[in-house]
Amino acid sequence: MRTVVVPHPADGRGRRGASIVEVDAFGAPLSSLREYPGFADAVAAIEAESRPRWVWTSTASVYPELLRADVRVQRCHDLATTGAILAVREGLPPPTAEEPVDERPGLFDAAPAIDVEAVVEQFAEQRRRISGDARLELLTAAESAGALAAAEMGFDGLPFSAQAHRRLLEDTLGPRPTGYDLPSRIAEVVEEVSAVFGRPVNPASHSEVLEAFRREGITVESTRKHVLQRIDHPAVPLLLRHRELSKLYSTNGWHWLDTWVRDDRFRPVYVPGAVVSGRWASRGGGALQIPRALRSSVIADPGRSFVVADAGQLEPRILAAMSGDRRMVAAAGSDDLYAPVAAASFGGDRAKAKVAVLGVLYGATSGDARALLTVLRRSFPTAVDFVERAARAGERGEVVHSWLGRACPPAPEGFHSHGDAHARGRFTRNFVVQATAAEWALCVLAELRRRLTTDPDPTAGDLVFFQHDEVVVHTGNPELASSHITASVGVATRLMFDDTQVRFPMDTAVRSVYAEDGGGE
């Protein structure tokens, strides 16, 4: 059963009602329209009674209010995320993503009134476009489940010790500065740089640094790290140190801590499907690029630990499953895919095997990569041809699709007259694999969320972090959480690839601090 819910604009006291109607799988009404005075109360009661698949305009704008009211749902059909997938498949720009509305009570409500009949019709139209395509059904369901997980992880937050991070900042940068002053350690480096050059030089100024080197008789084309590292000059280590300290201060300094960490929880805004391949991004806070230094502040609560699991060699294994190349599938049935590839094609040289496989995925054709690709093709022709066909399609300006049906963006207007065919080919070559890898990871996430939220054991744990091919569970029972991760990988693999012999081993570790054992990198 599907239950369409449309929250009403809040009244002057901040109270919000809702319109609710039950529909079948194709959007035909099964009940009369019912009006409820309390949005969260109505959803909570219906969820407890029947666990329907909720249909709403956007999880990003609807679900946060339910979370604040301590109401959670198991399933939904997100019209916004589904609409974005369908639009790109039809060559249209995706709809503008809905932002969470301002929930503060006031005379005027920022949330516009929405016609429930229009929502029902939109759902019915989407179902007409999806029905009969089992893979697309799975993709849109997983995308909606991912939107729920993203909202929940952002609301619950990642355990993060503000005290430990303040200590890191003070140890690295010095005491917190006031006003527009720089932290003392950065100011010291600025003075040292100026002393080395014999005149005031702002290390943050590209032009001043280049001019300072020019006065020393050194021509430097840029201040990029790899360029500076080639120069034998005492200012170089100081400039690199300044860059490192400035990045910490500007990206993850005290202002970042005040903005994104509350009650010892890092609370970013995850944006599912923000990348064209379906990968996630984050809005503010840098959730998907937590630097190594910060990971020492990600500390589990007393009596709990983190189970960190990431899929090794994911994209090569996805290629094996998609292409069905017999020998590549056999190689992907082992813990280390590169070892049997090396044995079959490169005399046991694993390094060459890795370069060749990644070269196939990313279109590397220069230097040794071209010769290695030729060798790889002889042993694994079906796998190589699979991505080659995607590349050729891209060079012709065509659209390619992931395993479940996510479309890449169409070629830009004028592509056939002045477009870069080779660049487009490299993009589509990797898109089919990377987008499918994102789908597999999303299916793992959706199943893991389902298992954790329905497990009667309260120590099973909570999803607290997800990026590309890594999940983190905050748990009081690491063995149970690990078993849920293993089971979720099996379910996702069967949903995607039936009874494939390709294995997707997870590198799983139990940690009290995220940074332990290399911080998951």
User: Scanning the structure block, which residue is given the tokens 């039809």?
Assistant: 90
Which residue in 32, 31, 38 sits closest to 7, CA to CA? 38
Q: What is the H or E stretch that residue 122 is in? A: helix 116-130
CB distance 7 to 113 below 8 Å: no
DSSP state of 401: B
pLDDT of residue 517: 60
pLDDT of residue 71: 98
* Spatial distance between the Cα atoms of 444 and 467, rounded to a whole number of angstroms: 12
Is the CATH number 3.30.70.370 carried by domain 267-312+438-518? Answer: yes
DSSP line for 258-303: HHHEETTEE--EEETT-STTS--EEESTTGGG--TGGGGG-BPPTT
Contacts of residue 174, defined as CB under 8 A and 6 or more positions apart, other chains included, come to 183, 184, 185
The first and second tokens of residue 313, run together, are 């060699």
List, in sequence order, every residue forming a beta bridge with 308; answer none if it has no partner.
472, 509
The first and second tokens of residue 476, run together, are 């009081």
Q: Which amino acid is at 358?
A: L
* Spatial distance between the Cα atoms of 96 and 93, rounded to a whole number of angstroms: 9
The first and second tokens of residue 510, run together, are 């139990």
Report the SS3 class of residue 369: helix
Give the angle subtended at the CA of 290 by the CAs of 289 and 292, to the nearest 5°: 120
Per-residue pLDDT tens, the chain, 521 aa: give them: 899 999 999 888 889 999 999 999 999 999 999 999 999 999 999 999 999 999 999 999 999 999 999 999 999 999 999 999 999 999 887 666 555 443 334 434 455 678 999 999 999 999 999 999 999 999 999 999 999 999 999 999 999 999 999 999 999 999 999 999 999 999 999 999 999 999 999 999 999 999 999 999 999 999 999 999 999 999 999 999 999 999 999 999 999 999 999 999 999 899 999 999 999 998 866 767 787 878 999 999 999 999 999 999 999 999 999 999 999 999 999 999 999 999 999 999 999 999 999 999 998 877 777 889 999 999 999 999 999 999 999 999 999 999 999 999 999 888 888 879 999 999 999 999 999 999 999 999 999 999 999 999 999 999 999 999 999 999 999 999 999 999 999 999 999 999 999 999 999 999 999 987 643 33
* Spatial distance between the Cα atoms of 98 and 38, rounded to a whole number of angstroms: 23
CB distance 80 to 59 below 8 Å: yes
pLDDT of residue 109: 46
DSSP line for 143-185: HHHHHHHHHHHHHH-EE--HHHHHHHHHHHH-SPP-TTPPPHH
Which residue in 240, 264, 243, 76 sits closest to 164, CA to CA? 264
* Spatial distance between the Cα atoms of 106 and 276, rounded to a whole number of angstroms: 38
**What are the helix (H) ranges across 302-380?**
314-323, 326-331, 338-345, 350-362, 368-379
The first and second tokens of residue 341, run together, are 């590839």
CB distance 424 to 397 below 8 Å: yes
Q: Which amino acid is at 409?
A: P
Contacts of residue 358, defined as CB under 8 A and 6 or more positions apart, other chains included, come to 316, 364
* Spatial distance between the Cα atoms of 254 and 175, rounded to a whole number of angstroms: 10
Residue ranges of the domains in the chain? 2-131, 162-257, 267-312+438-518, 314-434
**What are the helix (H) ranges across 11-97?**
39-50, 59-68, 79-89
pLDDT of residue 65: 95
Backbone angles phi, psi at 249, to 5 degrees: -65, -45
DSSP line for 472-521: EEEES-HHHHHHHHHHHHHHHHHHHHTT------EEEEEESBTTGGGTT-
* The CATH number of the domain covering residues in 162-257: 1.20.1060.10
Report the SS3 class of residue 104: coil
pLDDT of residue 76: 98
* Spatial distance between the Cα atoms of 414 and 49, rounded to a whole number of angstroms: 55
Give yes or no on whether 267-312+438-518 and 314-434 have one common fold: no
* Spatial distance between the Cα atoms of 165 and 158, rounded to a whole number of angstroms: 14
CATH fold for the domain made of 314-434: DNA polymerase; domain 1 (1.10.150)
